Amino acid sequence: MKIAVLGTGYVGLSTGVCLSEIGHHVYCIDINEQKINNLRNGISPIYEPGLESLLASNMTAQRLQFTTSLEEGLNDAEIIIIAVGTPQGDDGAADLSYLEQAAKDISKYVAASSIIVIKSTVPVGTNEYIQTIIEAECGFPVQMVSNPEFLRQGSAVQDTMKPDRIILGSNDKTAAEKIREMYLPLNAPIILADIRSAEMIKYASNAFLATKISYINEIANLCEVVGANVEDVANGVGKDKRIGEAFLQAGIGYGGSCFPKDVKALLHTASLYQVDFSMLKETIAINDNQQKLLVKKAVKRFGDLQGKKIAMLGLSFKPETDDMREAPSIKIAHSLTQMGAEVVAYDPVAINNAKQVLGDIITYASSVYDAISQADALMIVTEWKEFTQLDFASLVKKMNHPIIFDGRNCLEEEQLKACGNVEYYSIGRPVIII
């Protein structure tokens, strides 16, 4: 099939590349010329494992092309997938301005036979609203399918190639059937729904997962005061198949481009309809509190952070991504520096993006060893695998004080015992002082 994808961000690019991998002819379109120029040279604008090699092989096979021209990209397109950003607006609602612009842009080139798919995360009613914009501009009826995306950053290719489910929402059976055909090579479960239910499935999923994280984090805080260990608790709780083991990792809270904004957008939708979804307010409040925990623990330990050198390991909101959107590291870095601490941070891939957000309020190290040298404390903010595999016994010897604050509970007792002399504070687990 001939497919056009609007937006070459985390979702649009992963979608475009994977659809070409399963044999479709894909044109990826973006308004950002630099991104498109890089992509034409086989350079991915984002760090996403496995993406660049699929990009290269599908470009070579001439199934994947990039352009900034809608005329070129939409020419003959049977399916137009919109994957532009829907960031958080000032009032918590999803900002639909990119989507509205994209709708107006494509109206000039859309054919009566093409199917328009909204993959961006959008509040209930948005597909119908966008349809009215397009139809008003192009002057004929168009077919819409809501197809929310569930990929996770850091495993976008794997999640796109092997999704748990594909949701297709449409009031037009023929259009939904065509999109089902597009996805058939993935051999994934496909759920057909009406267009509003499909939109709601996305928010209900993200809000549930965010709430599961806040729930285990609140349990972790209780574990700390009653002397239990949240890792053992989560393990025991998660073995119940009705609950499940995933998303019970306690820590310094959720970040990223999705959970924070999507929980707020769902809350905003509820308030528009006078529904008091108070549980989501707690999900947010617990998460805000969780992001402050490492700094609170450091203040409790040191009393005063003025002049303390803190080595920060990890800047991105989660491992295997360079994305800094709503990363807990941002609030932590601001709090520490406002209290007079010197922060030296290391991240395997997110330093360039972090510089755009944090500027020179912190220093960026080129290795873990540079960051940790002469540090008064170490804070683990993102659980990159390479951090968990470090030789902590020799690392702590380079520090002024062998004190570790682990915001992701990623170190094991055995690793700490090997250090000989260490103080270890984590989330919802007993303090270890050796």
Ligand X SMILES: O=c1ccn([C@@H]2O[C@H](COP(=O)(O)OP(=O)(O)O[C@H]3O[C@H](CO)[C@@H](O)[C@H](O)[C@H]3O)[C@@H](O)[C@H]2O)c(=O)[nH]1
Ligand Y SMILES: NC(=O)c1ccc[n+]([C@@H]2O[C@H](COP(=O)([O-])OP(=O)(O)OC[C@H]3O[C@@H](n4cnc5c(N)ncnc54)[C@H](O)[C@@H]3O)[C@@H](O)[C@H]2O)c1
Lookup: tokens for 39: 């992509």
- The piece of 63-71, 74-82, 219-227, 243-251 that touches ligand X (CB under 6 A) is 243-251
Residue type, 136: A
| Partner touching 105 among ligand X, ligand Y, none, CB below 5 to 8 Å by kind | ligand Y
29 counts as binding ligand X under rule CB under 6 A: no
Mask 44-83, x = binds ligand X (CB under 6 A)?
A: ----------------------------------------
Q: Is 327 marked within a binding site?
A: no
Q: Is 293 marked within a binding site?
A: no
How many Å apart are CA 425 and CA 223, to the nearest integer? Answer: 13
- Residue 216 · residue 230 · CB < 8 Å: yes
For residue 162, CA distances in Å to 49, 150, 157, 159, 189 come to: 15, 11, 8, 5, 10
Q: Is 86 marked within a binding site?
A: yes
Give least dist CB 372 to ligand X, A.
22
- Residue 10 · residue 33 · CB < 8 Å: no
Give least dist CB 286 to ligand Y, A.
22
- Give residue for tokens 């497919």: 3
Q: Can you tell me whether residue 85 is helix, strand or coil?
A: coil
| Partner touching 341 among ligand Y, ligand X, none, CB below 5 to 8 Å by kind | none
Please count the other Cβ atoms lying within 10 Å of the Cβ belonging to residue 121.
23
| Partner touching 247 among ligand Y, ligand X, none, CB below 5 to 8 Å by kind | ligand X
- Pick the closest to residue 407 from 254, 190, 280 (CA basis): 254
355 counts as binding ligand X under rule CB under 6 A: no
Q: What is the largest CA-CA distance in the chain?
A: 74
Residues at the interface with ligand Y (CB under 6 A): 6-12, 29-32, 35, 83-86, 98, 101-102, 105, 120-121, 149, 151, 153, 257-258
Please count the other Cβ atoms lying within 10 Å of the Cβ belonging to residue 258.
24
Q: Is 248 marked within a binding site?
A: yes
318 counts as binding ligand X under rule CB under 6 A: yes
- The piece of 250-258, 296-304, 390-398, 411-419 that touches ligand X (CB under 6 A) is 250-258
151 counts as binding ligand X under rule CB under 6 A: yes
Q: Which of 47, 66, 109, 259 binds ligand X (CB under 6 A)?
A: 259
Q: Catalytic residues, which ones? A: 258
- Pick the closest to residue 433 from 408, 407, 396, 398 (CA basis): 396
Q: Which is nearer to ligand X, 169 or 402 (CB)?
A: 169
- Give residue for tokens 């399918």: 145
For the segment 205-234, give every residue that binds ligand X (CB under 6 A): 206, 209, 213
Give least dist CB 99 to ligand Y, A.
8
- Residue 327 · residue 315 · CB < 8 Å: yes
How many Å apart are CA 273 and CA 423, to the nearest integer? Answer: 50
247 counts as binding ligand X under rule CB under 6 A: yes
Helix then strand then coil, % of the chain, to nearest 5: 45, 15, 40
Binding-site annotation: residue ranges for substrate: 202, 247-251, 255, 318
Instruction: List residues binding ligand X (CB under 6 A).
Output: 121, 149-153, 206, 209, 213, 247-249, 251, 254-256, 258-259, 262, 317-318
- Residue numbers in the known binding site for NAD(+) are 30, 35, 86, 121, 261, 325
